[in-house]
Each structure stands twice: as C-alpha cells, then as structure tokens.
Amino acid sequence: MKLRNIEDVEKFREVIRECNADVLLQSPQGDVFNLKSTLSQYIALGRLLSEQGEELELFARDREDERRLLSFLASIR
C-alpha cells in the first residue's frame, strides 16, 4: 500500500507498535526498513517521509496488521 499524507507521525508509530508482525517500508530505490525497529523508524520516518512521502510502499506480514494499517490510512484521507 502506498503512503500518503501522514501528518500525525506519532499516531502512525502507535499503530505500528500495535502490529503483531513485521511492518516494512520500501523506498523507490529498493531500500527496505522494518518499522518494528525503533532505529529503522527514526531513519525511515524522518528522512524518507519528508523526501519521498508518496512514493513509499508499506507492507505488513500479518493480515490483521494489514487491516489495522489500512484502517489508519483510510482515516487520514
């Protein structure tokens, strides 16, 4: 799923923390960040969202996590 208009980064991080499995963020260049890692969150969210916000792909390894993320993304549109 593509990321768009995430202004409430703290709420986004909260949703990520609630996920059971890995949540991955992929840049257009192929870099993949595991957002369950706090260090990866800081790198990915700080640098990538500001530079390439609408070009990033978000992947969840768990169906329930995917539904949780889709619900969050739908709520910010």
Domain boundaries, given as residue ranges, for the chain: 9-75
The pLDDT of residue 22 is 97
| In this structure, CATH architecture of domain 9-75 | 2-Layer Sandwich (3.30)
Q: Which one is predicted more confidently, 34 or 2? A: 34
pLDDT score of 5 = 64
What does the block give as tokens for 52? 């390439």
The pLDDT score that the predictor gives to residue 18 is: 96
Q: How many beta carbons lie within 10 A of that of residue 25, not counting itself?
A: 22
In whole angstroms, what separates CA 46 from the centre of its chain? Answer: 12
Query: Tens digits of per-residue pLDDT, 11-68?
Result: 999 999 999 999 999 888 888 999 999 998 888 877 666 665 567 889 999 999 999 9
Side-chain half-sphere exposure of 42, counting CA atoms within 13 A: 2
CA distance 31 to 8: 23
Placement of tokens 């549109």 in the chain: 77
Question: Tokens 């949703």 map to which residue?
Answer: 15
The pLDDT score that the predictor gives to residue 69 is: 94
